Amino acid sequence: MRNVLKTTVVTATAAGLALTLAACGSDSSTGGASADPNKALTVVASPTPHAQILQYVKDNLAASAGLKLDIKVVNDYVTPNTSVQDGSADANYFQHVPYLEEFNKKNGTNVVSVETVHLEPLGLYSKKVKAVTELADGAQVALPNDATNEGRALKLLADNNVITLKSGAGVTASVQDIASNPKNLKFKELEAAQLPRALPDVDAAVINGNYALEANLKPATDALILEKAEGNPYANILAVKKGNESDPRVKKLAELLHSDQVKKYIQDTFQGSVIPAF
């Protein structure tokens, strides 16, 4: 099991955005129940589906609920948590609890979950084969390189009898935890956001649901194998810095994200590729 969370250097674009957030975000000292309910809530989110769902809330539900919402879109898995930690953003919406726990542990951050919102099933995709059984001996398979998502990807392969994992391999399993690999697959670890672009160059890739959607892949129909929703711990969450859970704006957003309108929007828009988790 890997002991170090793998992170990539944040791109210049993401770094620039972090500076923008610092300039326009809220002061973390004004969080919690004492936060000004009339001030816009700044939420950092991945583009798809997180920012889309937030935009639906902003366009259709927020005003009538008395919530001002400022959505900041980023493409990496580091900036959202560091922005919440340093107070340049109030909340983020991009991750699941296993990733958050590992991030906090390795980076000394203090970000906590408020509510689960949706699940994006992780899937194995290929431009070269039509079924997982068609993967040739020695085929190259790309995996996300952050600790929890790599472990999640390996579990997907193990659950579908592509590989087996050592007993006790948990959510942060790595390729070193593979017990048997009948097809001698070669694993290439890449930043999650790079996986769709790498797909033509490998035999298959395990891709996070949000990045699959951004690449016009439809998890419900295009994935060779796909995670099941039942009992899945990887539902994506709304998160804040510890102590800010009682911010009335955060509580209001969590309530709207759990509304019947948002559930219907997710179901109608993503057709099973994104699943409400409430």
pLDDT score of 8 more than 70: no
Does 75 lie in the same domain as 158?
no
132-162 b/e (C-beta count within 10 Å ≥ 16 → b)? beebeeebbbbbbbbbbbbbbbbbbbbeeeb
Q: How far apart are CA 53 and CA 247, in angstroms?
A: 21
Q: Cα-flanking dihedrals φ and ψ of residue 52, to 5°?
A: -60, -45
Average pLDDT score, the chain: 89
- Whether residue 132 lies inside any domain: the answer is yes
- Whether residue 2 lies inside any domain: the answer is no
Give per-residue pLDDT as tens, 228-273: 877 788 899 999 999 999 999 999 999 999 999 999 999 999 988 8
Does 146 lie in the same domain as 58?
no
Mean pLDDT over 144-159 rounds to: 92
- Whether residue 133 lies inside any domain: the answer is yes
- Whether residue 190 lies inside any domain: the answer is yes
Give per-residue pLDDT as tens, 167-199: 999 888 999 999 999 999 999 999 999 999 999
Does 134 lie in the same domain as 193?
yes
Mean pLDDT over 77-100 rounds to: 96
Q: How far apart are CA 80 and CA 99, in angstroms?
A: 12
- Whether residue 18 lies inside any domain: the answer is yes
Q: Tell me 175's DSSP state.
A: G
Give per-residue pLDDT as tens, 10-46: 333 344 444 445 444 444 445 677 788 889 999 999 9
Does 88 lie in the same domain as 99?
yes
Q: How far apart are CA 174 and CA 4, in angstroms?
A: 11
Q: State how far the alpha carbon of 20 is from the alpha carbons of 66, 89, 154, in Å.
A: 25, 10, 36
Burial grade of 34 (CB within 10 A; 0-12, 13-18, 19 or more) = exposed
Instruction: Show the domain range for 117.
Output: 12-121+233-276
Does 163 lie in the same domain as 41?
no
Measured over the CA atoms of residue 233, residue 239, residue 243 and residue 247, the dihedral's sign is: negative
The confidence score (pLDDT) of residue 16 equals 42
CB atoms inside a 10 Å sphere around CB 36 = 11
Residue at a domain's end among 205, 226, 247: 226
The confidence score (pLDDT) of residue 207 equals 97
Does 242 lie in the same domain as 117?
yes
Mean pLDDT over 64-89 rounds to: 97
Does 111 lie in the same domain as 41?
yes
Percent of the chain with pLDDT over 90: 75
- Number of domains observed in the structure of the chain: 2
Measured over the CA atoms of residue 275, residue 265, residue 68 and residue 25, the dihedral's sign is: positive
Does 189 lie in the same domain as 53?
no
Does 133 lie in the same domain as 103?
no
Q: How far apart are CA 74 and CA 72, in angstroms?
A: 7
- Whether residue 29 lies inside any domain: the answer is yes
Mean pLDDT over 86-104 rounds to: 96
What CATH number did the domain enclosing 174 receive?
3.40.190.10
DSSP annotation string for 202-258: SSEEEE-HHHHHHTT--HHHH-SEE--STT-S--EEEEEETT-TT-HHHHHHHHHHT
